[in-house]
Structure 1
Amino acid sequence: MSDFTVPTQVQILQQTSQLKALMTIIRAKDTPRADFIFYADRIIRLLVEEGLNHLPVVDKHVTTPTGVEYTGIDFKGRICGVSIMRAGEAMEQGLRDCCRSVRIGKILIQRDEETAQPKLYYAKLPKDIASRYVLLLDPMLATGGSAIQAVQVLLDHNVAEDKIIFLNLISAPEGISAFVAKYPKIKIVTGEIDGGLDTHKYIVPGVGDFGCRCVGTGWVDEVEAWKGGVSV
């Protein structure tokens, strides 16, 4: 989609040489799983740090060891993370690395490979999530269906739309357009925007199945294990 205009709600990471090199590694089909995870983690850390920049702040005054007052800032309100399972779980450690003892909820959504429509299986969220700012975590924004449904779960738990920030590594224009049309108050922080979706609704050039490359199992294996109470 060469004529795609990036909405104002979307913040793309600064396209540095470092980021481009990291993206090149994780996109290569022959990158070993261990390397894929390591370099994807570096991008995730950049995304989390940029996401934190979009949280509201208040002035804060502290006294330094020299006895002089310093005027700084503090985040306004508390935050939590919510990962869209399974691929979103890969982003949890990056959030924990930046935010000590942060609470993290989970939403399990499966995409029907024939219809490309999302199906909600499970949601476990912090009890006080309505009072927090939420960083929604999912590496890929393809059609936008899973992310849109995940946000609806948050709204059903009384999270304000403008208190949600959606973090992802790679987006498709189709997914961005659908998401922003549904939730115009939510900011999206993404690493790169790709050309679009193929006939199977996968992002191209993309990275393939992010979850499979991280976990090393198929989606069916994951869902069946979850149903049986098995951790994979």
Structure 2
Amino acid sequence: MVTAVHTLESRAITHLMTVMRDASTPHEAFAAHARRLMRLLAEEGIACLPHTRIEVTTPCGTFVGEKLLVASAVCAVSIMRAGDSLVEEVRAAWPGVRVGKLLIQRDEQTAIPRLFYEKLPADIARMHVLLCDPMLATGGSAMMAIDALLKRGVRAAFIIFLNVLSCPEGIARVHAAHPAVQIITCATDERLNERKFIVPGLGDFGDRFYGG
């Protein structure tokens, strides 16, 4: 069984998150720092996909390293719209990866999510999936996205959920329902507030990234 969540730790992530969390950071700076952070997250997610050991010849000898799956065996799935920003960093790091889209929106009053649209590769059942959404709050959207993937035949153990910021409530909910799904995040905050926002958090990621 995989670990419920893997939190990335580095001084670079601390610096980038500090700028992103600051309410006075303007839209352009937020987006620029978020892209840098999400590239690190994307690279980590890619590195956690299955691999085989391989020996290569260097200019001075040999080295035993790792070889990843072919890109066409992987699908980066966005929970729109905020997830689109993270998918683009996955594609920038690995241009051959396939792309899927899920439009899931939650009612701002009840926080209950609803699936409005899905566009996934016809052969996604045989693929590994990097599920992308910058925020894991209540876990409702993530659960609905995972369920949509499972209905299309994707194995839970083949799903890696990438997010920038999470909270204990969301992690616990996803892990309880889908313990085989791996979660990779840049930070896990204290809790949800009464409005279902992460505390201390960074506000609405999509609005701050796209400018409203």
Normalised to the residue count of structure 1, the TM-score between the two structures is: 0.85
For structure 1, the 5+ residue unaligned runs are 1-6, 218-232
- CA distance in 2 between counterparts of 1:25 and 1:45 reads 16
Residue 224 of structure 1 corresponds to none
Relative contact order, higher structure (CA 8 A, sep 6+): 2
Instruction: Report which stretch shifted further, 95-104 or 166-175.
Output: 95-104
Moved more, 79-88 or 68-77: 68-77
| One-letter amino acid matched to 2:14 | K
- Residue of structure 2 equivalent to 1:91: 86
Q: Given residue 209 of structure 2, which amino acid in structure 1 is its aligned partner? A: C
Aligned equivalent of 2:135, options 140, 143, 150: 140
For structure 2, the 5+ residue unaligned runs are none
Higher mean C-alpha displacement, 54-63 vs 199-208 = 54-63
- Number of the residue aligned with 2:66: 73
Q: Which residue of 1 aligns with 2:21?
A: 27
Aligned to 2:77: 82
1:198 aligns with 2:193: yes
Give the Cα–Cα distance (whole angstroms) in 2 for the partners of residues 169 and 37 of structure 1. Answer: 13
Task: For 1:17 and 1:60, locate their aligned partners in 2 and report how far apart those are by CA, in whole Å.
Answer: 31
Q: Tell me the SS of whatever aligns to 1:201.
A: coil
Q: Percent identity?
A: 47
1:61-107 Cα distance to aligned partner (Å, 9 max, x none): 556678x7754432246211001001101112210121122111110
CA distance in 2, matches of 1:88, 1:98: 16
Aligned twin of 1:50: 44
RMSD across aligned positions (CA): 1.8
Q: How far apart, in 2, do the equivalents of 1:74 and 1:171 lie?
A: 30
Q: Does structure 1 retain, via aligned residues, the 8 Å contact 2:8–2:187?
A: yes
User: Structure 1: how far apart are the matches of 2:66 and 2:123?
Assistant: 24
TM-score (norm 2): 0.92
Paired AA for residue 48 in structure 2:
H
Aligned equivalent of 2:210, options 179, 200, 215: 215
Q: How many residues align?
A: 209
